[in-house]
Structure formats: C-alpha cells, structure tokens
Amino acid sequence: MISFPPCKINLGLNVIEKRSDGYHNLDTVFYPIPLTDVLEVLPATTTQFFPSGTLIPGDAKDNLCLRAYELLKKDFDLDLVAIHLHKVIPTGAGLGGGSADAAHTLRLLNQVFELSLSKTQLQGYAQQLGSDCAFFMEDEPMLGTGRGEILSPIQLSLKGKYLVLLKPEIHVSTAEAYRGVKPMRSQPGVQEVIEQVPLTDWKKFLKNDFEPSVFAAHSVIKEYKEQLYAEGAVYASMSGSGSSVFGIFDHAIDFDHPHTIWQGELSL
C-alpha cells in the first residue's frame, strides 16, 4: 500500500513561552503543500526500512517511520513489514517532512492491518513521535497551539493563490533556531490575523519569531524572502525554523530560481 506524505508551511509562528518540560508553547497555522514523499508498506519476513531519493541524515534504524511501526506494535500484534520511503521533501527545511512520514506510516498501518483506529487515536500515537506529527493526520489547514499538537479548525482558504517554495543549501537545526528566539506572545494572535486581516496586510502582522536570529546567522534566507517580495508576492515568510521560505502570489508566475523546490496553484 502506498501513501504520499505532504509537507507543510507555517502561516505565522509565534513562540509564546518556554514550558517546564523544556518544550515551547506555540501559536501557528499549519498549511499542507502538495510537495510529497512516497511511502510504501509491504509484508516482509523481517522488519526492514529502505530509504531512497534525497539523503536522510542519521541512522536508518532510528527513522521516524520505523519508530511509528514499533509504537503501534507495542499495542497490536502487527506482522513484519518492509517500509520503503522515497524522500523528496528536503530535511532541515522547516517543512515537517519527517513528521509527515511518521504520521502517514501510522495511517498506512491502520489501513493495512485493519486496526480501526480513529483519527483522535492516531493523533495520540503521533504526538508521541513529534510535536507536529499530529497535524499530518489532517488534510486541511489547522491552527496549532501547545507544542503544535493541539489542533483546531480555522477559517482559511488560499484556493487559487499561487505559491513558490524556495530552499537554500543551508540546514537550520531546530535546536539552533530555538536558542536564538525570544519567547513572547504577539498581539493580534495568528488566528485573528488569518481570519480577520486581508491577505494583502498579512506582512504587517503575521510574523515568524524564528526569522530575526536565523536571518542574522544566514543572510541568504533573508535575501530569498526579499526576492519573493520583489517578484510580487503578497506575503512571504520563512517556514517553521527554516531554512525554506515561501511566497504567496495572486496569480501564477514563472519564478526562475535555482533553489525553487515547488511552485503551483493552491487548492485549499
């Protein structure tokens, strides 16, 4: 059985405060983008993980897809499987590709083994794998609070808008990004901006709190954002903790840039 885990961008990302457990409370909107990996789960005689495509850092045995399988296997009598992940979504980009792969592994295993787990139950497992994993049980934009695992519907449609997604050859670690951020609650909040402020004014109010320190350390990321505005984007931002940046346009453009990883019309 095959699945196509998508990535996400963040529309606004406010780091509100550091929690006693070491995590941070966030205020953000996750928006799914149809740049996808390819994930396949097959019966096997030994549990195996086969990566292909873009190089995945780290030891394969620690991949989130395998961890998702082992997590479910603790509670269910799962047969052995071979997991093939063809990686397209770049890592270290703030796009949530690894979280999407883990979540879609849970979704596939639920189907393959007919576990009849509800979305809420699957999200419970996903939360154990990563803060934004639960979002990838959804197929529409969601407001994310808490560590990003508390999800709420939001009134948002970018259908018909055009998106350009750029990824410089820079890896920004999440730890690096959090070291440079100064937690503070923003007013108005992300939901209020998204639902009440016209898209043309988002750039005045919708901020990513990771940008100041990440831009200071990696000026090329800031330059890419500025290039998107120069090309006519109505809103541009870094996604997550970087290093990817995106621009939203009112109409299709032919954006000829060597580090464009996806561009196309939005459908949600």
Mean pLDDT of 76-85: 97
The strand ranges marked E within 106-205 are 142-146, 150-153, 162-166
Q: For residue 98, what pLDDT band results from cuts at 50, 70 and 90? A: very high
Q: For residue 188, what pLDDT band results from cuts at 50, 70 and 90? A: very high
Cβ–Cβ under 8 Å, residues 55 and 85: no
- What's the whole-model pTM score? 0.96
Cα–Cα distance, 206 to 200 (Å, whole number): 11
Q: Which helix (H) or strand (E) holds 11?
A: strand 6-18
* pLDDT digits 0-9 by tens, 35-67: 999 999 999 999 999 999 998 988 888 899 999
Same fold across 2-153 and 162-265: no
* Domain residue extents for the chain: 2-153, 162-265
* pLDDT digits 0-9 by tens, 104-137: 999 999 999 999 999 999 999 999 999 999 999 9
Residues tagged active-site:
8, 132
Cβ–Cβ under 8 Å, residues 140 and 32: yes
Region 2-153: CATH code: 3.30.230.10
* CATH architecture for the domain at 162-265: 2-Layer Sandwich (3.30)
